[in-house]
Structure 1
Amino acid sequence: MKFAIVPTHVFALVFLLAGAAMAQPQTRNLMPVPQSVDWQQGKFRLTQDLTVGINGLPHDRLYAYTGRVVQRLSGRTGFLHWPVQIGHQHTQGSLQITVEQPGTPALYADESYTISVSENQISLRAPNDLGAMRGLETLLQLLEADEEGYYFPAVAIQDAPRFPWRGLMLDVSRHFLPIEVIYRNLDAMAAMKLNVFHWHLSDDHGWRVELRSVPELHRLASDGQYYTQEQIRSVIAYAEARGIWVMPEIDVPGHGSAILTALPQLGSKDMEYDLARNAGIFDPTLDPTNEEVYVVLEKIIAEMVALFPSPYFHIGGDENEGHHWDENPNIQEFMQVNGIEDNHELQGYFNARLHKILAKYDREMMGWEEILAEGIPESTVIHSWRGANEGLPAKQSLVQAAKAGYPVVLSNGYYIDLMYPTQDHYLVDPMPEKGRLTAEEEKLILGGEATMWSELVTPLTVDSRIWPRTAAIAERFWSDASITDLDDMQRRLKVVSYQLEELGLQHLHAREVILRNLTRNGDVATLRELVEVCEPLQGYTRNPLGVYYTVHSPYTLFADACMADARLARDFNAAAKDFVATVKGAEAVISQLERWATLHERLSPTLAGNPVLLEVKEQSKALSDAARMALIAMDVISGQKALPADYVDQAEHVLNHAAEQEGGRTQLANLPGLRTLVEAAVGENLD
């Protein structure tokens, strides 16, 4: 690295004391952080006569991409004339982009670039247009302003991705996501330098691709919600124009309810199948002993590979518990005759058959870690996903696969649908700890994917479950492993979150839509105060056993307005800790506590007038009660009041009661800060 990260202790609290000056951090607002950054003296002043020269042998997409970046630059500055002159072989342009040859979005494509900003010119150089597009995103993040106007600071940057596979998986089976949702997330992926869009197109809840060779699938197993072939092609073209390649997933042999709803003769059990409506693991499974299964799968694959140029085809292969195989006497006889000892070996047989079909169409197989078995070709990519939530050590399958010679992509630790805080994802590195793999085995770690399973999202809310946390994950895939400063990451992530809105993402806007709906366009501001300190229950606790929600449940409720990393709560927790350590900033902390102490009283009319909000009534009261306990603690810490006689027992009861609240399937995220203040006042930890 050309620079060392300077730790910064940044609070984004709206009530932070004014004048808390802080030196410009070395990372500025860059995300992902480039591999090498050398800040220099001087500024390139942005003026209305900006011109862009594109030189060398670029792909045509670079012109359109450059135009879109300049439009975003114009939107941020408000004065650039549009269109800005963008010319080929225009060597006098104030922004010079030089590429050696056209690029192709693919694994191991060269995405490197260099940027040189001086007072007179900006130079962006890359081996191909892919690197140039990545560099343009970095350049846009460099924009700063002072009293004289907008400028780019003088700098020399050399950059390239750490991992070649940097993906986002979208599940469109459990809840269908219209094409517009896909487009805007591809734009955000490009902005964050992600390069693989993994499209999970089938599961128990629906089949989402128009197939003319097997039309029963989209006609009978989609509820009428699927992508036409024209839409599929448009998504692939849209992605390629942004340096992203698209990999399809058809999940087999398990997760088969949708396929078997359309084609029940392929099932392992003679029964009437239907689309799943709840979350969970279901029994419907393709019959691996039925030759018609492979005939149909070849039809599917043949038509899919004609749509998707991706060299990789994801077959799923996860969570097949084999119950219907166990119940089928013909399958049991097949296993006995062929010396197949268990269901894992039987699935290995199925995967081998599927691999032959894929090889016929010049495609490599990828699947979730359950496909890892002796005998599958070493070109197969293993998708590692299980860990602590499944009762297994983290990265166990990743290490096993790499040691067996298989390329691996990691998703364990990047399940963004589980609503864990950003830091939990950010500190997970795709590369195992030193010593677990040899240098040659480490080369098999291709990178990682953030995974957005859609049981609990709709087109309105999905962006808020992906972004901005996935921007931090994208940094983990791109930047040097040493970039781990959590405070600095959070500071930059806040900036990036607002910038992503210019791409059409709804991650911030959706909250306001939901709040207006919940209050019937009433007192949104007071309800927002509660939302800003609540987070959806994490992991699988919001929807245990899949019984709280169905596909058709309303996803416009209180929990859907809440986001992971409730920023106000996180910043308050940090401020409370800082106050206890320094006894500074009391006014700001007290001001916030006073608002929370009166929140329930102020919110009560809204709760009473909107029955849908009664689920958070007790949570609102618990917050106000806990805030009042913290206000007493502030007086004690400041020496203004002695500790009341019954305070310890009362405070312990109030805090524990608040911690037990799960109103609207959410939890109060500011309790750590409140507890910090109370425990400092009493001089002991409260359990």
Structure 2
Amino acid sequence: MISCRLALALAAALCAAMPAAAQQLPRLLPVPAEMAPAAGRFALTASTALVVPAGDAGARAAADRLAELLRLSRGLALRTAAASPRPAIRFVRADTGKAESYRLEIGGDGATITAGDDAGLLYGAVTLWQVLTQDGGKGPVTVAGLAIHDAPRFAWRGLMLDSARHFQSPAYVRQLIDWMAVNKLNTLHWHLVDDQGWRVEIRKYPKLTGISGWRYPAVAPGAPLLPRTGGFYTQAEIRAIVAHAAKRGITIVPEIEMPGHALAAIRAYPELGMGVPIPPGTESDWGVFPWLYNVDDKTFAFLEDVLTEVMELFPSQYIHVGGDEAVKDQWKGSPAIQAKIKALGIKDETALQAWFVHRIAGFLQAHHRKLIGWDEILEGDVPADATITSWRGIEGAITAAKAGHDAVLSPSPALYVNHRQGQGPDEPPGRGDVMDLRTVYAFDPAPSAIPAEQQHHILGLQANLWTEHARTEARATWQFFPRASAVAEIGWSKAQGRDYADFVDRLVPQMDRMKPLGMTPATSAFAVRPTLDYKAGEKRVSVTLANQSGLPIRYTIDGTPVTARAPLYAGPLALSLPTRLRAASFRGTATVGGAIDQRLDARSVRFRNDEDLKTCSRKVVLALEDDYPAAGKRAVFLTDIFAPCWQWEAAPVGGAKAIALTVGQIPFNFQLGADLAHVKIPPSATPEGEFEVRAGTCEGPLLATVPLAAAAGNPGLTRLVAPFPVRAGNETLCIRTTARGLDPMWALESVELVQ
């Protein structure tokens, strides 16, 4: 028996050693449930073998994936063997607890990955890959002993890819699956059907893809036509993608929208609708469309035929049937629909949608599948075994759980990654409100409003990418990552001890190790954002620097490159004009992307682009891409489509003799229904319209009128200059459009006060 004094001494020594031990632990993402140092060191070389049990296809798949990841990242070509001298990497099949769990033990004799299912073996391999790539180097590596016992917090950790609005290649979908797997995301909700396009080959109905797989993008009146866009996935391509996903531990849940978002199907087979004509080009609009499926037996036969072929392609337990945003005006106006409501003895169109969903749920149940739908299906008599995807906030999940339904949390705006994640010239088009990395990471997948005894109904969470404005695969990647890694961690790791700064520190190397997998993530979280405070007439400007990540910022003002020896930003900089300001965010001694190189002079302090301005209202703020040119870089306009109006706060008007606006015109291609009456654009004095510049507020004194006649024939950007009255100091300017119609919609790209 040891003395109390000796016990206290041992405890003190242990506590003193803990920080050093903690520092030796690898920086992993998602952070494992349990991780501790262990004895020994493992030296990985090109001769290290991967040992798998004979006949174990799942273990072999995990080993093959680890070999491929190490080949891409370290340049080592490891081989699989049935047995090998130690050290080796061994895959062992044994019970480790809940689904997808694993143990990883690293020591002098190599590494052992133990799991009871295929997914656990794969995730153990992914974790080992992260451990072996901590240094970011190539070739052999030696790592310290480690013991990990890991399991996910939630069973559903997903992303939703919208391929209906813009089509992505099969190769891209497979690549996205690879990126998901190395973050331990396990569900791809694939949105294959919507008003703008039908992307899955249905052999019984070839017009679905032959007609509705393609469209011409909308352009402003008089602008050159853009090339036809679209595509679809053949059944062979889908089968290959599903098989690829299975190897990565990922389930693909297909979505076939009904009864709303049905324009693509009705466009191909008009008898599926209510006979309401579809104006040419409607399929290239955005918004909520009024075309719904009718409810006759022929339409249900069509839907059952479609779902039969879909179920043959996707083995997922769940089939998503949408159910959202079903505007019922055409149902209300259809005598046949009204007669059906009366014959069924139900109350109204909402009850009819519930009946519709019940009928489809019964068909899926007969085929041993489960219906999942957006939270609107809760508004009627929802099928007993239906699962809910809660997108209108978390209320749908709360209602579902309390009623005994499973739910997936996917709330807008927090987990809608079609929202931009930053500001600046590198940001692609999207929803205008910023949903930054910190906001996503702070999301709680287990809201306290759900009683503890019903928390088990929360299956997990997913982030949704709607692709109205993500027309390229590079943009889709930018919108997904690194926010998808935040979703992965809050879905996998324990809630206790979650820390944003620690997450960022682990995120940076995770993004670096994904680059050999073809990943080019967004730099939004690390981009340096300068804010200028300039007083008219002065020869200096105050500059504030910030980033979303909280990482240190270093800068130079003499034109030299920014290195780890450059001054550390600690507060606003008072800079003489002119000055060349360069700044970057740093993790340790390395920059992490999003650096700036900006000349500050008498002109730049009187210049603002639309990103620097505020919209006068925040009804529907979008970052919209110009429709010109057909190829090459296009302008992006930040505007509120209900009120195209901007405010320049504290504009340095003193000494300005003219104001220059750079403007562009874009198509007004929005299905707004009754909300169209709320679009407020003041009437113009000229046929082409003009921009007004007013002092203080949008009802303040008119300072300048900028006619648009000179820009009306130009599909690209036009710089327009108008006289500006003598003013003093700084004041807020309101800049708004006037027009005699909505199409085209004029947008502001930048504004400059000219001396």
Instruction: Give yes or no for contact 2:43–2:110 (8 Å, CA) kept in 1.
Output: no
Residue 151 (structure 1) aligns with: 142
Stretch moving more, 358-367 or 205-214: 358-367
**Deviation of residue 287 (structure 1)?**
1.2
Task: Choose which of 274, 277, 288 in structure 2 pairs with 1:281.
Answer: 288
Q: 1:180 to 1:74 in 2, by over 3 A?
A: closer
1:69 aligns with 2:69: no
Stretch moving more, 170-179 or 21-30: 21-30
Question: For the residues of structure 1 that align with 2:111 and 2:391, how far apart are their CA atoms?
Answer: 42
Residue 18 (structure 1) aligns with: none
Residue ranges of structure 1 left out of the alignment (5+ in a row): 1-20, 388-394, 512-527, 536-566, 577-583, 626-649, 668-687
Residue ranges of structure 2 left out of the alignment (5+ in a row): 1-18, 215-229, 421-434, 532-544, 555-566, 583-595, 610-631, 639-645, 653-726, 737-745, 751-755
Question: For the residues of structure 1 that align with 2:276 and 2:551, how far apart are their CA atoms?
Answer: 57
Task: Choose which of 379, 383, 386 in structure 2 pairs with 1:377.
Answer: 383
For 1:122-137, what aligned pairs fall within 5 Å after superposition?
122-137=111-126
For 1:177-576, what aligned pairs fall within 5 Å after superposition?
177-223=168-214, 225-272=231-278, 276-288=283-295, 290-373=296-379, 375-387=381-393, 395-412=394-411, 413-419=414-420, 420-433=435-448, 436-439=450-453, 441-457=454-470, 458-507=472-521, 533=529, 569-570=547-548
Q: CA RMSD in A?
A: 4.2
**Deviation of residue 463 (structure 1)?**
0.5
Residue 39 (structure 1) aligns with: 37
Identity of aligned residues (%): 30
Question: For the residues of structure 1 that align with 2:381 and 2:636, how far apart are their CA atoms?
Answer: 57
**Deviation of residue 323 (structure 1)?**
1.3
SS in 1 for 2:278: coil
Instruction: Give yes or no for contact 2:552–2:569 (8 Å, CA) kept in 1.
Output: no
Offset from partner CA, 1:498-519 (integer Å, 9 cap, x none): 22222122436xx9xxxxxxxx
Instruction: Give yes or no for contact 1:411–1:451 (8 Å, CA) kept in 2.
Output: yes
Offset from partner CA, 1:582-615 (integer Å, 9 cap, x none): xx945897599834795255998xx99x996697
1:121 aligns with 2:123: no
TM-score, with length taken from structure 2: 0.64
Stretch moving more, 494-503 or 461-470: 494-503
**Deviation of residue 309 (structure 1)?**
1.1
Instruction: Give yes or no for contact 1:249–1:314 (8 Å, CA) kept in 2.
Output: yes
Residue 553 (structure 1) aligns with: none
Residue 95 (structure 1) aligns with: 89
Higher relative contact order (CA 8 A, sep 6+): 1
Instruction: Give yes or no for contact 2:636–2:749 (8 Å, CA) kept in 1.
Output: no
Q: 1:123 to 1:653 in 2, by over 3 A?
A: farther
- How many residues of Structure 1 are paired with residues of Structure 2 in the alignment? 540
**Deviation of residue 415 (structure 1)?**
1.0
One-letter amino acid of the counterpart of residue 436, structure 2: P
Offset from partner CA, 1:255-284 (integer Å, 9 cap, x none): 111011011111134323665212211101
Q: 1:468 to 1:602 in 2, by over 3 A?
A: farther
1:85 aligns with 2:79: yes
Stretch moving more, 127-136 or 92-101: 92-101
Q: 1:344 to 1:314 in 2, by over 3 A?
A: same
Instruction: Give yes or no for contact 2:580–2:599 (8 Å, CA) kept in 1.
Output: no
Q: 1:183 to 1:487 in 2, by over 3 A?
A: same
Instruction: Give yes or no for contact 2:154–2:491 (8 Å, CA) kept in 1.
Output: yes
Offset from partner CA, 1:153-181 (integer Å, 9 cap, x none): 21110001111111111000000111111
One-letter amino acid of the counterpart of residue 267, structure 1: G
Question: For the residues of structure 2 that align with 1:403 and 1:572, how far apart are their CA atoms?
Answer: 39
**Deviation of residue 489 (structure 1)?**
1.1
Offset from partner CA, 1:629-687 (integer Å, 9 cap, x none): xxxxxxxxxxxxxxxxxxxxx99959x78999xx99999xxxxxxxxxxxxxxxxxxxx
Offset from partner CA, 1:274-316 (integer Å, 9 cap, x none): 652122111011112x221101011111111111111211000
**Deviation of residue 70 (structure 1)?**
2.5
Residue 682 (structure 1) aligns with: none
Q: 1:217 to 1:286 in 2, by over 3 A?
A: same
Q: 1:664 to 1:30 in 2, by over 3 A?
A: farther
Question: For the residues of structure 1 that align with 2:253 and 2:374, how far apart are their CA atoms?
Answer: 14
**Deviation of residue 75 (structure 1)?**
3.8
SS in 2 for 1:372: helix
Question: For the residues of structure 2 that align with 1:455 and 1:22, how far apart are their CA atoms?
Answer: 49
**Deviation of residue 57 (structure 1)?**
5.8
**Deviation of residue 112 (structure 1)?**
0.7
**Deviation of residue 401 (structure 1)?**
0.4
One-letter amino acid of the counterpart of residue 181, structure 1: Y
Would you tell me which structure has more helix in proportion to its own residues? Answer: 1
One-letter amino acid of the counterpart of residue 368, structure 2: D
Question: For the residues of structure 1 that align with 2:748 and 2:530, how far apart are their CA atoms?
Answer: 10
Instruction: Give yes or no for contact 1:55–1:91 (8 Å, CA) kept in 2.
Output: no
Offset from partner CA, 1:4-61 (integer Å, 9 cap, x none): xxxxxxxxxxxxxxxxx99965874211111111123543232332122113663x25
SS in 2 for 1:418: coil
One-letter amino acid of the counterpart of residue 404, structure 1: A
Question: For the residues of structure 2 that align with 1:272 and 1:146, how far apart are their CA atoms?
Answer: 55
Q: 1:200 to 1:575 in 2, by over 3 A?
A: same
